[in-house]
Amino acid sequence: MVLGSALWIYARGWAPNRDEYPTQGVSVTSDTGLVEWGTLAAQGADFAYIRAARGASLRDPLFAANWRGARGAGMRYGAALDYSLCAKAVDQATQFMTTVPRDNAALPPVIRLGFDPSCATRPGRDQVLSELNTLVNLVESHAGKPALLNISADFDAQYDIASGINRTLWVDGNFFAPDYAKRPWVMWTASDMRHIDGVDGPIRWDVVAP
């Protein structure tokens, strides 16, 4: 019991070594709750990816506040879109473009690819790749930068996105760098359970490949 509690406390505070991964940051959504951006920056977050929208139906209610907060704290900042298999690419791109301001200082946009429990639709791979290519092109045209693809392991296992779309990859895996993508990754969500000053609940802690 004591050992389990100690491991849990360690896991909540863990982050990869800065000597190995010098650039580290966070991903936030409205589910993260209110963020004290100055405190978060002081805790070592170099950058923040902020969810702008999920699919075509949800505009993140805290996006504008988080965008201003990260910029005001002197952090690098970028916008993310949670992709949905249950919505058309054009509609999702429209939601993203009407939420995220054009900003030359922003980081490249991120499209997160994972299965949403509320969406049971599972189109074929060719259809998914076609829709994603449309989405990527529209988002990139708005942002003026190439997009990153943050792909979950199960989504990539079903659709082999890494082989189908040639964009920079972002992968997920608590504590251990994953190897499920078929190409080298540039970003890694090293923990989705980190607790840190400036945020009430757990936060996704991300690192950039050296």
**32: nearest Cα among 59, 51, 9:** 51
Residue 158's φ and ψ, nearest 5 degrees, are -80, -35
Round to whole Å and give the CA distance between 38 and 20: 25
Domain with 158, as residue range(s), is 2-208
Round to whole Å and give the CA distance between 80 and 84: 13
Residue 5 is predicted with a pLDDT of: 59
CATH value at residue 193: 3.20.20.80
Query: Among positive and negative, which fits the CA dihedral 101, 195, 205, 197?
Result: positive
Residue 187's φ and ψ, nearest 5 degrees, are -130, 150
**Count of domains observed in the chain:** 1
Q: Are 49 and 26 within 8 A, CB to CB?
A: yes
* Average pLDDT per 10 consecutive residues for the chain, totaling 210 residues: 60 89 96 94 95 95 97 97 97 97 96 94 96 98 97 96 94 92 93 91 93
Q: What per-residue string of b and e applies to 126-158 under the rule 16 or more CB within 10 Å gives b?
A: eebbebbeebbebbbebbeeebbbbbbeebbee
Angle at 95 between CA 89 and CA 99, to 5 degrees: 145
Residue 191's DSSP bridge partners are 205
Round to whole Å and give the CA distance between 118 and 139: 24
